[in-house]
């Protein structure tokens, strides 16, 4: 059997035919939300572990494909390759000499190494990276050009974490971070990533098909995310993934997964998601985006001021989600206090019976909300923000 046939056989035996260990990286604090999503996919999770910053589970490549396509709150999904110990560079080089990189990496795709080290005798990340590059090049027959960006802009990331002399080596199955849905959204005020928006909707108890008002919608992230949930459009429906460049990639299996997902996508009789903003220009762009992505049956877009909305005509009450322009865009603490005071009164007077998801930049603003709520801290763009949820009574 020639070398190509031998490698294909080994790939089927060691990669395709075996259960692998995967790590789903999430935003801090939303690991339970992502775990609940994972459970709903029907993947056996008897040995899954929820940890800080993500979830570890065992599964087959099929499960990796499915999780990348459908999880709305995952940042990226890694597949564990190797775990070993080495306390000096001689030991590291010996361990790396036997690594079967050809089972996981394509010589036609640029490779990017991400190395972190802590509490170990080997802490020089550049030197560690050089050893890994030498090992990969020797096995694949590549050179330093293998670590430059490809013409197509694609690259395969390898993550190496060194802790207490233990090396954990993982390959990224996602490519670009999973909040990049492939639905082009222009920037707006206080933008929220799609993964964060999906988590907030879940934490607020949003149900598919439920009425949603997004009255400070900006670029429309919450409205579009809710519409994709309502229509059962997978989070990754419009994008590609790094696993599609793996030597083990199974195109027929992937096509089958996509056909099944497509059969579950639904349409709606009339819009029940209402996105509005005072910025007429951004509303015009959002309207075109919604039309281009076939979401007009679900989302109604208008240029309006939140403080002038009269939601009583919208039946039945559902969820109102608010991401006001806070921080530097508001200015002084007094200005923020005044705005959130007005928001609290508006919600109490006009949105009784509605659920609320409100983002605020500081916990002290909770005093401006004149009804009982639940609050939790979330990380957003390097800042800690407060999410307020509950029912307006």
Q: What is the CATH number of the domain that holds 334?
A: 3.40.50.150
Same domain for 165 and 227, yes or no, is: no
DSSP, collapsed to helix, strand or coil, labels residue 214 as strand
Same domain for 159 and 223, yes or no, is: no
Same domain for 58 and 125, yes or no, is: yes
| CATH code, 107 | 3.30.2130.30
Residue 246 counted as domain residue: no
**Tally of domains in the chain:** 2
**Domain extent at residue 374:** 194-231+267-391
Residue 284 is encoded by which pair of tokens? 């015009």
Ordered per-residue pLDDT tens for the chain, 393 residues: 457 778 999 999 999 999 999 999 999 999 999 999 999 998 888 899 999 999 999 999 999 999 999 999 999 999 999 999 999 999 999 999 999 999 999 999 999 999 999 999 999 999 999 999 999 999 999 887 677 655 556 899 999 999 999 999 999 999 999 999 999 665 555 578 999 999 999 999 999 999 999 999 999 999 999 999 999 999 999 999 999 999 999 999 999 999 999 999 999 999 999 999 999 999 999 999 999 999 999 999 999 999 999 887 777 899 999 999 765 444 566 788 899 999 999 999 999 999 999 999 888 899 999 999 999 999 877 778 899 999 999
Residue 343 is encoded by which pair of tokens? 């928001």
Same domain for 127 and 200, yes or no, is: no
Residue 177 counted as domain residue: no
Same domain for 168 and 199, yes or no, is: no
Residue 119 counted as domain residue: yes
How many H helices and E strands in the chain?
Answer: 10, 14
Buried/exposed 247-270: b ≥16 CB within 10 Å, e otherwise = bbbbeeebeebeeebeeeeeeeee
Same domain for 351 and 290, yes or no, is: yes
Would strands 54-59 and 49-51 be described as parallel, antiparallel, or unpaired?
antiparallel
Residue 241 counted as domain residue: no
Same domain for 18 and 114, yes or no, is: yes
Residue 206 is encoded by which pair of tokens? 């949003």
Q: How far apart are CA 195 and CA 30, in angstroms?
A: 10
Same domain for 29 and 102, yes or no, is: yes
Q: How far apart are CA 283 and CA 370, in angstroms?
A: 30
Length of the chain in residues, anyone?
A: 393
Same domain for 360 and 296, yes or no, is: yes
Residue 21 counted as domain residue: yes
Residue 181 counted as domain residue: no
Same domain for 318 and 362, yes or no, is: yes
Residue 359 counted as domain residue: yes
Same domain for 211 and 309, yes or no, is: yes
- Which residues touch 384 (CB under 8 Å, ≥6 apart)? 377, 378
Same domain for 292 and 371, yes or no, is: yes
Residue 259 counted as domain residue: no
């Amino acid at each position: 059997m020639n070398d190509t046939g031998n490698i294909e056989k080994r790939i089927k035996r060691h990669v395709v035919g075996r259960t692998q260990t995967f790590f789903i990286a999430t935003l801090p604090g939303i690991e339970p939300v992502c775990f609940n999503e994972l459970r709903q996919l029907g993947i056996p999770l008897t040995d899954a572990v929820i940890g800080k910053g993500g979830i570890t589970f065992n599964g087959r490549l099929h499960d990796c494909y499915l999780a990348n396509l459908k999880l709305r709150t995952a940042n990226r999904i890694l597949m564990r390759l190797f775990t070993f110990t080495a306390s000096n560079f001689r030991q590291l080089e010996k361990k790396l000499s036997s690594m079967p990189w050809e089972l996981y990496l394509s010589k036609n795709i640029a490779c990017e190494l991400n190395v972190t080290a802590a509490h170990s005798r080997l802490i020089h990340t550049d030197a560690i990276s050089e050893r890994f590059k030498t090992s990969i090049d020797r096995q694949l027959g590549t050179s330093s050009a293998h670590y430059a960006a490809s013409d197509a802009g694609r690259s395969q990331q390898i993550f190496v974490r060194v802790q207490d002399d233990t090396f954990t080596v993982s390959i990224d199955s996602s490519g670009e971070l999973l909040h990049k849905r492939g639905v082009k959204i222009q920037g707006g005020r206080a933008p929220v990533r799609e993964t964060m928006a999906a988590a907030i909707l879940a934490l607020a108890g949003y149900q598919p098909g439920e009425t949603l008002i997004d009255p400070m919608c900006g670029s429309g992230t919450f409205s579009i995310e809710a519409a994709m949930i309502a229509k059962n459009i997978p989070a990754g429906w419009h994008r590609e993934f790094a696993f599609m460049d793996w030597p083990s990639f199974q195109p027929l299996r992937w096509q089958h997964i996509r056909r099944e997902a497509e059969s579950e996508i639904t349409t709606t009789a009339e819009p029940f998601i209402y996105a509005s903003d005072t910025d007429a220009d951004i509303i015009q762009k959002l309207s075109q985006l919604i039309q281009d992505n076939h979401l007009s049956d679900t989302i109604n877009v208008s240029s309006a001021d939140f403080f002038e909305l009269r939601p009583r005509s919208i039946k039945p009450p559902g969820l109102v989600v608010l991401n006001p322009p806070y921080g530097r865009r508001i200015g002084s603490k007094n200005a923020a206090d005044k705005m959130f005071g007005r928001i609290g009164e508006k919600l109490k007077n006009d949105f009784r019976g509605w659920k609320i998801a409100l983002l605020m930049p500081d916990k002290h603003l909770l005093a401006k909300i004149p009804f009982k709520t639940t609050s939790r801290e979330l990380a957003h763009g390097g800042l800690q923000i407060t999410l307020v949820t509950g029912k307006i009574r």
